[in-house]
Amino acid sequence: MTQVHFKNLGLIDYKQAWDLQQELFDRTVQQKFNNRSLPEKEQLVTRNHLLFCEHPHVFTLGKSGKEEHLLVNREQLKAAGATYYKINRGGDITYHGPGQLVGYPILDLDHFFPDAHRYLRYLEDIFIRILADYGLRGERSNGETGVWLDVGKPSARKILALGVRASRWVTMHGWAFNVNTDLSYFSKIVPCGIADKGVTSLEQELGLRIPMSEISEKAKTYFTEIFAVQLLDD
């Protein structure tokens, strides 16, 4: 069974977590490159990683995003206690903050399947299952990544955002699942570049706060089942 090394980083600065991701990503890509020049018996197996964390208030803009989707200036960012980064994942602008479960899988998809679309669907499946545990129907929205509630209705709202990067079939970046998130921060952006749909959280939908540890354990369980892996605590 494929092994994935797991670590919960807790509340961590965005740039610090990004640097760690990049280090693990670069190491994996380099190992794959090195393996190409080695006989098969001398090749080293690449390691897979899964990082969980929460971030202080931060907005991140993906490669295909538009800067005008950040609706506040630097002074307003500072007043809100938030930072802003342009980053190398796909997608547009999103928000991360306390009460949001962020997951960063650094996986060598050659251990699984070389299919980025299938990979995104697997990530969505994790949270569709979690929502079902709380009596909520999570759905996909045609042409848009992530997980939504009330798709096709005026009340459609997003609860899971996805944004990934892949090179040589190695992934980085990942998901943001709104658990007990302060949704007011989404008013400072056009979330994921989508202006006609809302954003929600598990707390907003259920009317009560769910412990982050409870959601983390569910996410670990369903990640393990869906990707058919063994998680090893780092």
Mean pLDDT across 149-168: 93
pLDDT at 193: 60
The CA distance from 83 to 123, in Å, is 26
Mark whether 192 is an active-site residue: yes
Q: Which two tokens stand for residue 148?
A: 């939504």
Q: Is residue 177 scored above 70 in pLDDT?
A: yes
CA distance 83 to 154: 31
Confidence (pLDDT) at 39: 85
Q: How many residues does the chain have?
A: 234
Domain ranges of the chain: 2-233
Least confident of 4-13, 44-53, 68-77, 133-142: 68-77
pLDDT above 60: residue 194: no
What CATH superfamily classification does 2-233 receive?
Answer: Bira Bifunctional Protein; Domain 2 (3.30.930.10)
- Average of per-residue pLDDT across 126-136: 98
Q: How confident is the model at residue 37 (pLDDT cuts 50, 70, 90)?
A: confident
Q: What is the pLDDT of residue 67?
A: 85
Q: How many CB atoms within 10 Å of residue 105?
A: 23
pLDDT score, position 221:
98
Distance CA 151, CA 41 (A): 50
Residue 219 and residue 217: Cα distance in Å, rounded? 5
What is the per-residue pLDDT for 192? 61
CA angle in degrees (0–180, nearest 5) for 218-224-228: 155
Of 87, 189, 192, 202, the catalytic one is: 192
